[in-house]
Amino acid sequence: MIPVSLVVVVVGGWTVVYLTDLVLKSSVYFKHSYEEWLENSGLSISPFHIRWQTAVFNRAFYSWGRRKARMLYQWFNFGMVFGVIAMFSSFFLLGKTLMQTLAQMMADSPSSYSSSSSSSSSSSLHNEQVLQVVVPGINLPVNQLTYFFAAVLVSGVVHEIGHGIAAIREQVRFNGFGIFLFIIYPGAFVDLFTTHLQLISPVQQLRIFCAGIWHNFVLALLGILALVLLPVILLPFYYTGVGVLITEVAEDSPAIGPRGLFVGDLVTHLQDCPVTNVQDWNECLDTIAYEPQIGYCISASTLQQLSFPVRVYKRLDGSTECCNNHSLTDVCFSYRNNFNKRLHTCLPARKAVEATQVCRTNKDCEKSSSSNFCIIPSLETHTRLIKVKHPPQIDMLYVGHPLHLHYTVSITSFIPRFNFLSIDLPVVVETFVKYLISLSGALAIVNAVPCFALDGQWILNSFLDATLTSMIGDNDVKDLIGFFILLGGSVLLAANVTLGLWMVTAR
């Protein structure tokens, strides 16, 4: 659910702003000077909406729009082609997303989709949709709202810069640039002279209307390139490929403890799975979660020395327990003796698995000695005993669901070369770039949809004017075709948003 504190802050903040605005506009003494200040500042305040417009950046926009005219002409021609292709492709993408959502809704157990997705790492979700509705506090962590809103604002500014430069390139008067805040969502806009916009040709209009989503697409591509090259960019200060660095351990994490994980620890192995980066960490945890529990070689003499008589009983899930439930150090192990009979014994976990090789059967332990046994932890379903190597500290023995380790421990592949460097900086940069890629790409896709009030509406109208005017002499017929296409796109987008919100909030 959305945190109550977040709702209170947002509603309370907007209430104060709007009431202050209302009081000042109603005041006999302050009304005139206040409204004059708003006009001079370019501010506009209404319920849950603040808008600021300025002409300060006009000179910069005109400089960008008139520089290297031939190159800009080709640039926005590419953007026009991309915009038209994106407009028609958006129908296919939204249709596919809607079918995926409906398939999940009609499934006998919709939660199985979310559980199968959550069973893998965030970088390798099996049923991940291209477009998803994002709701702060539900499927968007509150602690990442700063990244989200910063990426939304940057994407919006780049989008509007595209419109502005293209308009100036096509000799449309540019009145100003502004930003706004709607509830908690920031955005940007450009103010163009409408009469000039209506007088230019449909192809010129297309270049202007497509420029926004074109710039968002290019920004997403640059973000992907930056993400790929980030290890190279940060190479003078951070190195990679030797393990993952712990950047945060949640207070409720099972990895907390005197022999647990701490910020600054370098993890190199999970069991016998080598970890050199974040992807390795996620893949190792996936493998450990889906494969049977691995065992450990132990000599017959050590086994005899450590084991003691136990009472074996079945748990509710069918697994076997043979230790005291209150023990924090002992674990029940199963093994097969020389007569291939399965036995159980309760052993101190650290002494049993320390400095031993991993195994699946007794044959895996015969390389060192024929009197060795492969002891396998007998744990509840989905629970695993994981040996986490983080030298020079002693190995951490983790008992629990692998996903709890995944979700409660934050890591990075970047290790600082110098002590004064922050271990969080690469994570901050990487997270922001990922949000920028996602949101800028989403803005390009959604705005391309031929839907009322979106860029897609104007792209469609200009495209029909450029292509059907010579074929269909009657403008009413052309407008009717455009209306039905817009209606279809609007219904498709609305259906995706509505069902997407239901899927997110209902779970």
- Active site (catalytic) residues: 160
CB neighbour class for 329 (10 Å; exposed up to 12, middle 13-18, buried from 19): exposed
In one-letter notation, the amino acid at residue 320 is T
The Cα-based distances of 212 to 167, 439, 488 in angstroms read 11, 14, 22
**CA dihedral of 257, 262, 268, 271, whole degrees rounded to 10:** 20
- Please give the full DSSP string across 312-345, using - where no structure is assigned: -EE-TTS-EE-S-TT-SSEEEEEEE-TT--EEEE
CA atoms of 122 and 411, how far apart (whole Å): 13
Q: Containing H/E element for 383? A: none
Tokens at residue 372, please? Answer: 């060795």
Beta strands in 233-300 (DSSP E): 238-239, 244-249, 266-267, 269-270, 273-274, 295-299
Number of residues written out for the chain: 507
Tokens at residue 64, please? Answer: 């960008």
Question: How does 396-414 read in b/e, with b if 16+ C-beta sit within 10 Å?
Answer: bbbebbbbbbbebbbbbbb
Check if the beta carbon of residue 447 is closer than 8 Å to that of residue 459: no
CA atoms of 464 and 501, how far apart (whole Å): 33
Strand 330-336 relative to strand 174-182, pairing? unpaired
CA end-to-end distance (rounded Å), the chain: 10
